[in-house]
Amino acid sequence: MADHIDPLPAGPLTSVPAPVEYIPAGPVEDGAKRTARRVNIRVFIYVIGLHVFAGFAMLLFYAASHRS
């Protein structure tokens, strides 16, 4: 069979070294601080936006009550 390819090399098999356990050099960060910061920024933006919207609505009510 000419189309058959032997998956093993013809020579003696070499031993494969065992994988070394990876130990990170510095502290590992799981992203909790970044996520908390993003949530805090988003809450701050929502609170400011809600106050701006409420102020605009109050301005509209004030203008409508003084219309005559």
User: How many C-alpha atoms does 41 have within 13 Å on its Cβ side?
Assistant: 6
pTM greater than 0.85: no
First to last CA, the chain: 101
Tell me how many degrees the CA angle 57-58-64 measures, rounded to the nearest 5.
Answer: 90
- Give percent above pLDDT 70 in the chain: 71
Percent of the chain with pLDDT over 90: 46
Q: Is the pLDDT of residue 54 over 90?
A: yes
Cα 58 to Cα 51: distance, rounded to the nearest angstrom: 10
